Structure 1
């Protein structure tokens, strides 16, 4: 007999409760504690809901996915145009910064205000941010609007994942996540070459402006295709009082000071006061964030009993370090293709396509493996082992100048992270209590986006530090223009083509060295992800 829903003895639901609240999650067997049984949901119910849900949320997921690699392959062009190539890492980190802060908030906000309302808000803010990016006149304006886009993008990712968990049985969850990942992968695979093509033809601004009408289409689809029960009728002030503003503020300060410190150190030198002060403050703010979430906040968006649960924490660590390494390689590669190999933005995007397709294939494969065998431990360990192994062909190819080998490295990394993210998501859902599932998922996005920010920030800092120091050292003599050349090269890649051939070759070799140097922290990050995967707790999922 089905157990009652958590919001009432008769199982009545609101929009803030799971959409199939009379349906408990799939039963599973804990290898250490034996089986736990629960009724099986009606097989037709999730499928009926998904026929309406998938098109509506898929349009938004496609749009956000398209955005990420539209930017990755065009940021060198953006840096050239705005004369700020050395600061282009902020195009990515400003987006991931607000993504990091707001993704976990959406877990709580969707419980307070409702899933549909949060998704509509996310689409609207994302579209507004993209329009602002396209109209930006300098790097500061662009980064501000990218931060606005991140607020919306975080909601799309988190709320869609929460909706899937509401509707889909746990054992089927990996399959439906695979469907979403196909949509995501289609967006990223098209985004890479499309972003490069637009940057080379009508201009990079249209990469952003074109997304505004797409956001409107996605918003209208959610309005008319998704039907959910009404949310609670509590006063809006009461609802606002349940938002963890202090936790979000301390997390924002922690991440901002860390990223500012890394950027300042690579551009101003590590003996300068700015990076020392910023990097000293960052751990203090991180400690305050943990204190707020565990001891102070009444409604924390990252509760201590979820974050520090051993079974969940292992999944979070693999997500953090795995995404950090993945985004580092994805950020470094287009700049390498354009600065060292002299390729266009469109060519760089085309070279990224195999990796984006590999993420889709491995994500679907990971979901199929879990559905077929009901286990997640060894698929997770092997996935992050594969991602770690990718640094070997990647580094060798950068050193030897092999484009094919570098693409192989990117594909291996993509295969690893695609499967690993899917299997760890199932691990989170299997180990979290049903009432904590929305917050547990949102926290996984917190760790993914935080890792993405860290990966891009650290790799960019190492790369820019090496490029700056090596250019100044190798060009410092002679006509006395070494420092000026070094600065102008770090502002625009187009300047390389204006240099004498021997100087241009030297600059390209320095960019190669900078990319190799950035592989070192990337390797350390992926090693940490691999080691953390051994602590993921096995769950045998029953049919």
Structure 2
């Protein structure tokens, strides 16, 4: 394999020299030898960082020294404090997301913007998607701690703005700023954990991190509902500010990475570090992602399909993407994302698995509450109670999959089995009706939540195992970029489907037979109110109520069908991942 080079790699050591450090570019130099470390698409042989089933079997039977001589520079107590500090950020990000999903209809109705409620969700996901890929490489340059503190402060500022805003534009701006911070909280916590924990145990710690995330997700619904009930939805945002500041303080006080860790950043002055930042590549990447996300989020509503704005965004997004790829391949000494890594099947497969799976999950997380609210007439508190099953599923699925990988050193079969269970769970959500039993309503998020958490853990470990340790930050950013863009696309596409079928069904059901005492103008006003506020379903004239409920029932199920389809695609794509050896030392030697 040493003689077979990827067509994307051109190992010219002089061309890869970094003039600002008077030494070969750290990332570019390693990428030039990736074909000696990673399994490419064109070969089935596998080296140190990625091994076939036979390699793993022989390593397991022989008992390699690294499996018994794992070392760490921290005691268990120290490690718990450090990782616990990181997980406060994960908890906060999940808390915020669930608060918004639970109160989305309520917030949108209070500002008369149900037809544009995807703006509230999409504005967060837009900036999170665009900026999240930057954190990995930036933290390699400046260090994990400064960027984690920045993320917490930005998150707090965004929540403050959101709480003070009582119109769609102000709230969207606040959510966008929150998204910049939220992207760093989630991705940097995962990256820093990989700096501290050997790969074979990494799944367990990822499971613990997902438990923290799950606690935030489970409590967010009830948390937001209680604030909305007693103080107003604004205070659900205000209350997150001190939590974000506490998280930043804990990171500042306790996150002390070991000497020599990549997470400490590059040595040198601020000016030297500044020269390492790939500003050109970052600008092209953010521009491409933002324009693409705007296109996906608002096509069919604010952006007319096949209009000049529609095609303009497509051309701009593709143009900046191609420019970004060129800069990363031929210009940048410290690429934001080493695009060469996409030539390897495990990196590509795990990323796409996350992409499609996240589309599926965010779709049902947004539209199951809409179904419960509009079709069943449940209150935010009752909806919050039904989301607890998702927490139990996420916590158990991630942690148990981590234990499995730690004990066996394998993950491929686990990915296949949990994927099939996830499909089953999402399909059961699609089959939910007005007559679904109360018991099942409280447990139906359990299976898909567990499957999704297991998928996140497995694909993350597979991705990190497939590349050298000094590339783990950049590849983790790739993973989170897929997840962030997938969530945006999922919410946007499902919102388009939901609104299309809702408006069509309302017009069909309400205008077909206009009751006595109502004019067509009266019915059109009722349709408008029903379309803009799910809460109006239970306030509308009784003669129209069942028709409105049936319209919401149909439209939410069309959105959930999209969730089923994307989940199936995710599981199919995951079959292309390879089994890689999970090392027991951080250095993977």
- State the TM-score, normalizing by the size of structure 2: 0.82
| Cα deviation digits, residues 440-472 of structure 1 (max 9, x gap) | 111111111111111111111110111122223
**Residue range with higher mean Cα deviation, 237-246 or 102-111:** 237-246
Are 2:95 and 2:220, in contact at CA under 8 Å, matched by a contact in 1?
Answer: yes
**Is 1:31 matched with 2:53?**
yes
Distance apart, 1:105 and its partner CA: 0.7
Alignment correspondent of 2:18: none
Tell me, in whole angstroms, the C-alpha distance in 1 between the residues paired with 2:298 and 2:71.
56
Tell me, in whole angstroms, the C-alpha distance in 2 between the residues paired with 1:466 and 1:379.
37
**Is 1:95 matched with 2:130?**
no
Alignment correspondent of 1:463: 498
Correspondent of 1:313 among 348, 369, 382:
348
Distance apart, 1:275 and its partner CA: 7.1
Alignment correspondent of 1:480: 520
Q: Which runs of 5+ in 1 are unaligned?
A: 1-25
Matches within 5 A, 1:54-133: 54-133=83-162
Alignment correspondent of 1:519: 560
Structure 1 residues 503, 237: CA separation in 2 closer, same or farther (over 3 Å shift)?
A: farther
Distance apart, 1:283 and its partner CA: 4.8
| Cα deviation digits, residues 366-425 of structure 1 (max 9, x gap) | 101101211110111112221112232112113755555455442221111111111111
| Cα deviation digits, residues 321-369 of structure 1 (max 9, x gap) | 1111111110111111111111111111111111122111100011011
Residue aligned with 1:127, SS: helix
Are 1:322 and 1:384, in contact at CA under 8 Å, matched by a contact in 2?
Answer: no
Correspondent of 1:336 among 371, 381, 388:
371
Residue aligned with 1:391, SS: helix
Tell me, in whole angstroms, the C-alpha distance in 1 between the residues paired with 2:301 and 2:526.
15
Larger C-alpha radius of gyration, 1 or 2? 2
Residue aligned with 1:203, SS: coil
Tell me, in whole angstroms, the C-alpha distance in 2 between the residues paired with 1:100 and 1:208.
21
**Residue range with higher mean Cα deviation, 81-90 or 533-542:** 533-542
Alignment correspondent of 2:587: none
**Is 1:496 matched with 2:537?**
yes
Are 2:303 and 2:310, in contact at CA under 8 Å, matched by a contact in 1?
Answer: no
Tell me, in whole angstroms, the C-alpha distance in 2 between the residues paired with 1:431 and 1:276.
38
| Cα deviation digits, residues 202-246 of structure 1 (max 9, x gap) | 111111100101111111112222234665553434433433344
Residue aligned with 1:334, SS: helix
Alignment correspondent of 1:140: 169
Structure 1 residues 45, 236: CA separation in 2 closer, same or farther (over 3 Å shift)?
A: closer
Distance apart, 1:183 and its partner CA: 1.4
Alignment correspondent of 1:357: 392
Are 1:95 and 1:146, in contact at CA under 8 Å, matched by a contact in 2?
Answer: yes
Correspondent of 1:395 among 407, 427, 430:
430
Structure 1 residues 62, 379: CA separation in 2 closer, same or farther (over 3 Å shift)?
A: same
Alignment correspondent of 1:42: 71
- State the TM-score, normalizing by the size of structure 1: 0.88
Distance apart, 1:181 and its partner CA: 1.6
**Residue range with higher mean Cα deviation, 507-516 or 293-302:** 293-302
**Residue range with higher mean Cα deviation, 219-228 or 508-517:** 219-228
Structure 1 residues 366, 248: CA separation in 2 closer, same or farther (over 3 Å shift)?
A: same
Tell me, in whole angstroms, the C-alpha distance in 1 between the residues paired with 2:477 and 2:297.
28
Tell me, in whole angstroms, the C-alpha distance in 1 between the residues paired with 2:355 and 2:442.
23
| Cα deviation digits, residues 137-175 of structure 1 (max 9, x gap) | 211111111111111111111111111111111111111
Correspondent of 1:175 among 201, 204, 209:
204
| Cα deviation digits, residues 258-316 of structure 1 (max 9, x gap) | 44444544446966737743664455554554444444544322211223321211111
Structure 1 residues 457, 382: CA separation in 2 closer, same or farther (over 3 Å shift)?
A: same
Are 1:332 and 1:515, in contact at CA under 8 Å, matched by a contact in 2?
Answer: yes
Distance apart, 1:130 and its partner CA: 0.8
Distance apart, 1:487 and its partner CA: 2.5
Instruction: Report the number of matched residues.
Output: 519
Tell me, in whole angstroms, the C-alpha distance in 2 between the residues paired with 1:362 and 1:326.
15
Structure 1 residues 124, 51: CA separation in 2 closer, same or farther (over 3 Å shift)?
A: same
Alignment correspondent of 2:489: 454
Tell me, in whole angstroms, the C-alpha distance in 2 between the residues paired with 1:525 and 1:190.
27
Distance apart, 1:109 and its partner CA: 0.8
Residue aligned with 1:437, SS: helix
Alignment correspondent of 1:377: 412
Tell me, in whole angstroms, the C-alpha distance in 1 between the residues paired with 2:463 and 2:82.
23
Tell me, in whole angstroms, the C-alpha distance in 1 between the residues paired with 2:87 and 2:411.
26
Are 1:80 and 1:494, in contact at CA under 8 Å, matched by a contact in 2?
Answer: yes
Structure 1 residues 476, 235: CA separation in 2 closer, same or farther (over 3 Å shift)?
A: farther
Alignment correspondent of 1:532: 573
Are 2:131 and 2:286, in contact at CA under 8 Å, matched by a contact in 1?
Answer: no
Tell me, in whole angstroms, the C-alpha distance in 2 between the residues paired with 1:259 and 1:403.
37
Are 1:320 and 1:448, in contact at CA under 8 Å, matched by a contact in 2?
Answer: yes
Residue aligned with 1:397, SS: coil
Correspondent of 1:327 among 362, 368, 393:
362
Are 1:462 and 1:517, in contact at CA under 8 Å, matched by a contact in 2?
Answer: yes
Tell me, in whole angstroms, the C-alpha distance in 1 between the residues paired with 2:540 and 2:379.
18
Are 1:263 and 1:457, in contact at CA under 8 Å, matched by a contact in 2?
Answer: yes
Structure 1 residues 534, 28: CA separation in 2 closer, same or farther (over 3 Å shift)?
A: closer
Matches within 5 A, 1:113-262: 113-228=142-257, 231-232=265-266, 234-262=268-296
**Is 1:507 matched with 2:548?**
yes
Distance apart, 1:72 and its partner CA: 1.0
Alignment correspondent of 1:438: 473
Are 1:103 and 1:445, in contact at CA under 8 Å, matched by a contact in 2?
Answer: yes
Tell me, in whole angstroms, the C-alpha distance in 2 between the residues paired with 1:444 and 1:502.
50
**Residue range with higher mean Cα deviation, 502-511 or 107-116:** 502-511
Structure 1 residues 271, 31: CA separation in 2 closer, same or farther (over 3 Å shift)?
A: closer
Residue aligned with 2:548, SS: helix
